Amino acid sequence: MAQFRTNHSKSSAAGGNIARVGIFAAILAAMFYLFNLFSSGKASQPDAPVAPTEENADRPNYLPSSSTGQIIDHGYFWLSYDEEHEQAEWAAHILSREQLELPRVDRSGDFRPDDKVKTGSANPADYRNSGYDRGHLVPAADMGHSAEAMSATFLMSNISPQARSFNAGIWRELEELTRTWAKKYGKLYVVSGPVLTKAPKGRIGVNNVAIPAAYFKILLDLDSANPKAIGFLIPNEISFEPLTKYAVCVNEVEKVTGLDFFPKLLDDSIEEQVESRFNVDLWQFSKQKFQQRINNWNKQQ
């Protein structure tokens, strides 16, 4: 009996030693795992984004919704391509005072297909002898601070069929005013595009590019003391009316286009404030530019 107790004690001691060694080994393994985890930065940044890929891009938070799912990054601006209409449903960029104060580069004029469009973009030949301009959504002049940025605006994904009297008239006036406002307010979020929910005026080229009945532009200023936004809905035709006639709230543009603008950039309270109302008095329009359009630009057809 005594022998049994002695063997049992030795066995218990040995078992205890083995257990302690096992626990110690487990602790070391856990410490080694945690060391590797923290040293790699993963533990301190559990919500770090996955590295951007073609399928999972790190997209800016100011982008509108996309009805097509084909959002393309051109570095200086983003767009959502609509294959059915062979053009972007919107193009978005940030326009800042700092950009506009940099030295200007020459206009490149290198219109070309966009290889990033998986379904294939329109091409310059679609517009040839069509009677319509290759109109920019992101203006070339907005990207005049960089030769690369300027060239990107001539990709056909950023181009849409615009009546000459529209492109060189009221659309030009709005683009120039937008740059004036960006200089005044410091930074604007700009979204431009065709109204593709309305029946097109026709189609051009072998790719059947739709001719939009109208265009929109939305401007959002978050840098001022009082955030504000304004939208425009303008028919794709000559206009002798002041731009203020076409000014609308962002909600109206959303209603017409079916798009949701700035869904990730604005919290609910600010979104309601800036999207449901607008005040043209907060945006300084230019009577001089209006007269220049009426007297000169509209006649240069």
Catalytically active residues are 136
What letter represents residue 16's amino acid? G
Chain-centre distance of CA 227, in angstroms?
Answer: 19
- CA dist., res. 192 & res. 28, Å (int): 59
**CA nearest to 135, candidates 162, 153, 103:** 162
Q: What are the C-alpha distances in Å from 30 to residues 17, 27, 40?
A: 20, 5, 15
**CA nearest to 278, candidates 211, 226, 204, 210:** 226
Q: What are the C-alpha distances in Å from 62 to residues 58, 73, 149, 272?
A: 12, 13, 19, 16
